[in-house]
Structure 1
Amino acid sequence: MFKFLHSLALVTTTAAQLTCPGSFNKISAWDFSARLNPGWNTGNTLDAMPTETSWGQQPLVNETFTNAKNRGFKGIRIPVTWADHFIANDANYTVDPAWLRRVYDSWLNPDATGFNRNETLAKFYRFWFQIGTKLGCKSSLLAFETINEPSGNTSKAEDGDFLNNLHANMVKAISDAGGFNKDRVVILCGLSDGYTTATQYLKLPPNMTNPWALTWHMYGPWSFTAAAFGDTIWGSDADNTDMYNNIHWGRTNFTNVPIIIGEFGIGTAMTETAARWKYYDFVVNSAYSSNTSVMLWDASSSFAPNTTQPYGDQTALDIIIHAAKGVHNALANSTENGNDPTYWSSSQLFQKLGSPIQDTNLPFLWNNKSITSISCSDGPCQPILRKGVDYQTNSQNITFTKDFMSSLFPSNAQSGLKANMVFHFDQDAADLRIPAYLWSKPSLAVTNVTITNATAQNDLWVPIKYAGMPQVAMATAQMINNTYLVNSWTQWSGPMIRGAATYGDDWSYNGTHVAVLASDLQQVIAAGVTTVFTFECYPRTGTGDNNAILTITPRE
């Protein structure tokens, strides 16, 4: 397993102190980058502030890394915040020895636009000298990454030059520390970990002997990856072209440098499954075709022993692992036109309660792959479905027969999950997990709430009874004067986004409740207008028959 590390340095020289026993198996940055692909981030643990468990994750243990490795990840990136772990009032900026022992990767994020730069250089030199001393005898499978997402004015060369100084001082500090550090892989970045700023400003440290790689982070397009405005749509030709160009633009400008996309990822709570699968497959395959490695951003509790927070989409992990080998996976398909009045997806098999049973088509992107078998569990189905009896396939669809649908969704069935199917494919493609849901309209425990300025200071959580798939696709906030409470610009968007509030900023949900967050409650108070919050579940029919509605009235 590969591990690597990041932060800064200084211009002062400290005599080399570390001598290592044995030999160092030198590795090129190209080999290092290739062998860690795909990699995984231990997000929200050692980078939490002020300490490891402050953001609700479990402490990192050896089994966490073993589980990630067994899942198929080949490299580990361990972001760490050091700002709260220097010994107080120590002029030498000594890191707490207990914390230094605890970590293998680091970051402290200075803003390049305005602070005491000399002090920062001093602190970072001492900081990296201590890390270089502590870890200088580790094998070549450990790399150092200077700093995580250094902020600054991306249009100011001065800020880019300061970042170059930080890179140079880090390299000097680890070299001064001794050990094997002069030959260790180092990983450099541009302002905000962007590929365009690296192209604009990045200059290599003078006299550097270390093999090096470039890193940048990718979370775009933000409207989709964060479902910021109810945007559950991805995968059009335009989406693919834009993503391909972004990834290959970096390679075009750094043709002779290994590149690591050090962070990328999508939240599973608020993005649509098929669109998410298409995104991951295309991103990782595009990176593969440009000889670029990828590292998934994730909260580390996904692989903690006995975790209660497993990664929210196991199929997505399979897709990433297989795509990193250059496999174009078979994929569920979904709506790709934001102007469509409804949203369809084949990542679930849906049947509406009370609707006639019939042959049901699910469109798929086979990518020259063929189904070898479909297993089925947790429902009234055969362990292995029978081709020609339970389903048929053609070049664009899988069709579940009326008889199979009748057995899965009998007339006396209640809404909810009815079965879990797994599609197995040839040519080493990822398995696809396809659940089957019988659905009807969800309901809220209360539908009308009156708020005051005092009660608007806290989030409002309301119990919801899901009647099918327990996921909210989108929420809108429309005042009774027919204007939108937030994101008013969406009035000119397509029907699948129009009026959307932002997940995490305006609203939230879990397995038992939906929430209007305090920020929106306060906007309702400020507007003085009754506002209707509509929570739309999957499938997104566009007809309102899968919506739960909460009306909030302000009172002085």
Structure 2
Amino acid sequence: MQPGWNLGNSLDSLCCGADETTWGNPRIDAGLFQAIKKQGFHSVRIPVSWGNHTGPAPDYLIDPAVMARVKEVVGMALDAGLYVMINVHHDSWQWVKDLPTKHDAVMAQYTATWTQIADTFKDSSTKLVFEPINEQSFEGSSGPDAGHRYMAELNDTFHRVVRSSGGNNADRLLVLPTLHTGADQADMDALAADISGLSDPMLAATTHNYGFWPFSTNIAGYTTYNAEVQKSLEANFQSQVDTFVSHGIPVIIGEFGLMDNYQTNVERGEYLKFFEDFGYLARTSGITTMWWDNGTLFDRFTRTWRDQEQFDYISTGWTTRSATASSDLVFVDATKKLNDASVTLNLNGLTFAQLRYGAGALKQGKDYALDGSSLTLKKSLLKRILGDRMPGATAQLQIGFSAGMPWKLNVISSAAPVLSAASGTTDASVVIPTAFNGDRLATMEAVYADGKNAGPADWTSYKAFSESFAPNYQDGTIQLTAQFLAAIDENRPVTLKFHFWSGQIVQYTITRTGTTVTGVAS
């Protein structure tokens, strides 16, 4: 089944009179699955939401037209040569969450739902896989232990219903999730014990992975794929190997990615490092991964990738590693004497091959120097590629290696950013005129004069990118969002520290009086 892809925001958007196009994707056809197969995927997860097309108790009949459409789509995917995994998806938070307080009613509907699905697909190819529920949590639960018992009840009921339905369901692969479909050790241990008790060799475990959360969303100062973030990902994979794989239980990471699905919050090079490392860990651990895509990654209208380079990193990881570097950004201060600039290569077991600018290969010794994993760009090269070195001048180099993707190195001439006075209101935003001078914003801190953290998420001084602030390089502005402004105290000045990728830090002070907010450079 490795690698896998998610058909998100299509059949799971079947809600309240909506159809599979409601969340912005086209109606599914056979060509979509043929295109996905051509991209190198072996499996597709098809999330399905059933509850809003289910009749009342006691029968809980699923709308025959909806069931027929799901069967048709599954058939298209199977005909394309893909393994297929279907589930009960948004029902988890729509009604299954009420299991602690409406136990009998929820279990009756859940049992009826899976009875109908199992009967419909019992004669389908064994390349069809079932997953009982998605990211399940429980409202009114007394705690994790109770949550594990409820989760086991759902998994066990699902197992009993499917296995007793006959046909190919007798030994079809069933994929059981942890509580929340997370990889916390206690949740995995509970699932491992449940799987052991079922004594069924055709069971797999499933979790989801959206990376180390502060990095995945760019909050709390986690702007880079640093050693802590990397170790967190490595530990996630290793714990699943130790808990499941080493005991003969396959693992499918049914959704993975970063929370920054639109690639606006996490810096580009750091973003790509995550996916490169994720692919390596999946391949070496033997864990199947299914990339979450709600239509923002593979354009289902044109059947092309919206971000080809991101896909190239992911697909390259199916067979080999790619090397990276300490950064994909090299800032050259336009106001100072020109000097050499260096980056550290993360070779990942590969070797350096060449450094290119445009269509030509650069010359070692003349244009650059290589000392172990340290790559130095000569000042003569910087002068040539940056020209007059006006702030904002850029050039892109490509570092080639013995295998994998080349690493793009963006060389940028910059000067200290300048922020001007601004005003706004808490129910709108404050837009700060900003001369970026070639620099790029990494993060923002917000503190009161007494040192206490200001704004939302006040457990950290570093605010969430996009949620609290957002740069607009084309317009030359930094926006402080209404959400951020509403969370600061009145008549209590807030010092903002804007951290830029060049290393520059610019201070700015904002003050809220009633609903009016004013800001000036500190």
TM range, smaller chain: 0.7 to 0.9
Hey, what does 2:487 align to over in structure 1?
523
Hey, what does 2:422 align to over in structure 1?
448
Percent identity over paired residues: 22
Cα pair distance change 1:307/1:421, threshold 3 Å: farther
Q: 1:459-474 alignment to 2 at 5 Å? A: 459-460=429-430, 466-468=436-438, 472-474=441-443
1:128-183 per-residue CA deviation (whole Å, 9 max, x = no partner) reads 23333444444333211111111145954443233222223323433455442223
Helix, strand or coil: the match of 1:187?
strand
Q: Distance in 1 between matches of 2:344 and 2:188?
A: 41
Q: 1:349-360 alignment to 2 at 5 Å? A: 349-360=330-341
Q: Distance in 2 between matches of 1:124 and 1:205?
A: 23
The answer as to 2:356 corresponding to 1:368 is: no
The answer as to 2:324 corresponding to 1:331 is: yes
Question: Are the counterparts in 2 of residues 194 and 217 from structure 1 also a CA contact under 8 Å?
Answer: yes
1:8-60 per-residue CA deviation (whole Å, 9 max, x = no partner) reads xxxxxxxxxxxxxxxxxxxxxxxxxxxx2232334444445745455556665
Q: Distance in 2 between matches of 1:307 and 1:349?
A: 35
- Code of the residue aligned with 2:254 in structure 1: it is G
Helix, strand or coil: the match of 1:457?
coil
Q: Distance in 2 between matches of 1:306 and 1:401?
A: 46
The answer as to 2:514 corresponding to 1:555 is: yes
- Code of the residue aligned with 2:6 in structure 1: it is N
The runs of 5 or more residues in structure 2 that have no matched partner are 75-85, 516-522
Cα pair distance change 1:235/1:316, threshold 3 Å: farther
Question: Are the counterparts in 2 of residues 64 and 304 from structure 1 also a CA contact under 8 Å?
Answer: no
Q: Distance in 1 between matches of 2:497 and 2:31?
A: 43
- Code of the residue aligned with 2:513 in structure 1: it is P
Question: Are the counterparts in 2 of residues 478 and 532 from structure 1 also a CA contact under 8 Å?
Answer: yes
Cα pair distance change 1:482/1:70, threshold 3 Å: same
**Normalized against structure 1, the TM-score is what?**
0.74
- Code of the residue aligned with 1:434 in structure 2: it is L
Cα pair distance change 1:150/1:305, threshold 3 Å: closer
Query: Shift in Å at residue 389 of structure 1?
Result: 3.8
Residue from 207, 221, 224 that aligns with 1:230: 221
Hey, what does 2:287 align to over in structure 1?
292
Q: Distance in 2 between matches of 1:308 and 1:289?
A: 30
Cα pair distance change 1:538/1:75, threshold 3 Å: farther
Hey, what does 2:5 align to over in structure 1?
40
Hey, what does 1:476 align to over in structure 2?
445
Question: Are the counterparts in 1 of residues 5 and 291 from structure 2 also a CA contact under 8 Å?
Answer: yes
Higher relative contact order (CA 8 A, sep 6+): 1
Residue from 421, 426, 430 that aligns with 2:405: 430
Q: Distance in 2 between matches of 1:520 and 1:127?
A: 43
Query: Shift in Å at residue 96 of structure 1?
Result: 3.2
Hey, what does 2:83 align to over in structure 1?
none
Helix, strand or coil: the match of 2:413?
strand
Query: Shift in Å at residue 362 of structure 1?
Result: 1.5
Hey, what does 1:22 align to over in structure 2?
none
Residue from 76, 95, 117 that aligns with 2:62: 95
Hey, what does 2:256 align to over in structure 1?
264
Residue from 81, 84, 90 that aligns with 2:49: 81
Cα pair distance change 1:485/1:59, threshold 3 Å: farther
- The range that moved more, 61-70 or 361-370, is 61-70
Cα pair distance change 1:447/1:551, threshold 3 Å: farther
Residue from 185, 188, 195 that aligns with 1:198: 188
- Code of the residue aligned with 1:438 in structure 2: it is S
- Code of the residue aligned with 1:500 in structure 2: it is Y
Cα pair distance change 1:509/1:288, threshold 3 Å: same
Question: Are the counterparts in 2 of residues 375 and 421 from structure 1 also a CA contact under 8 Å?
Answer: yes
Question: Are the counterparts in 2 of residues 318 and 431 from structure 1 also a CA contact under 8 Å?
Answer: no
Question: Are the counterparts in 2 of residues 182 and 210 from structure 1 also a CA contact under 8 Å?
Answer: no
1:380-424 per-residue CA deviation (whole Å, 9 max, x = no partner) reads xx44434444333231122222222112111164515x3333333
**Normalized against structure 2, the TM-score is what?**
0.79
Helix, strand or coil: the match of 2:411?
strand
Could you say what the CA RMSD is over the residues aligned between the two structures, in angstroms?
Answer: 3.6
Cα pair distance change 1:437/1:158, threshold 3 Å: same
Question: Are the counterparts in 2 of residues 450 and 552 from structure 1 also a CA contact under 8 Å?
Answer: no
Q: Distance in 2 between matches of 1:522 and 1:436?
A: 38
Q: Distance in 1 between matches of 2:284 and 2:415?
A: 44
Q: Distance in 2 between matches of 1:229 and 1:44?
A: 30
Question: Are the counterparts in 1 of residues 13 and 23 from structure 2 also a CA contact under 8 Å?
Answer: yes
- Code of the residue aligned with 2:410 in structure 1: it is P
Greater share of residues in strand: 2
Helix, strand or coil: the match of 1:37?
coil
Q: Distance in 1 between matches of 2:481 and 2:226?
A: 31
- Code of the residue aligned with 2:413 in structure 1: it is L
Hey, what does 1:167 align to over in structure 2?
155
Cα pair distance change 1:397/1:317, threshold 3 Å: farther
Hey, what does 1:421 align to over in structure 2?
397
- Code of the residue aligned with 1:120 in structure 2: it is V
Hey, what does 1:338 align to over in structure 2?
none
Q: Distance in 1 between matches of 2:39 and 2:396?
A: 21
Q: Distance in 2 between matches of 1:375 and 1:136?
A: 56
Question: Are the counterparts in 1 of residues 35 and 303 from structure 2 also a CA contact under 8 Å?
Answer: no
Cα pair distance change 1:177/1:439, threshold 3 Å: farther
Q: 1:233-248 alignment to 2 at 5 Å? A: 233-236=224-227, 240-248=230-238
Q: Distance in 1 between matches of 2:264 and 2:341?
A: 27
Question: Are the counterparts in 2 of residues 287 and 294 from structure 1 also a CA contact under 8 Å?
Answer: yes
Query: Shift in Å at residue 284 of structure 1?
Result: 3.5
Hey, what does 1:503 align to over in structure 2?
465
Query: Shift in Å at residue 315 of structure 1?
Result: 4.7
Cα pair distance change 1:221/1:305, threshold 3 Å: closer
Question: Are the counterparts in 2 of residues 448 and 552 from structure 1 also a CA contact under 8 Å?
Answer: no
- Code of the residue aligned with 2:220 in structure 1: it is F
Aligned length: 480
Hey, what does 1:390 align to over in structure 2?
367
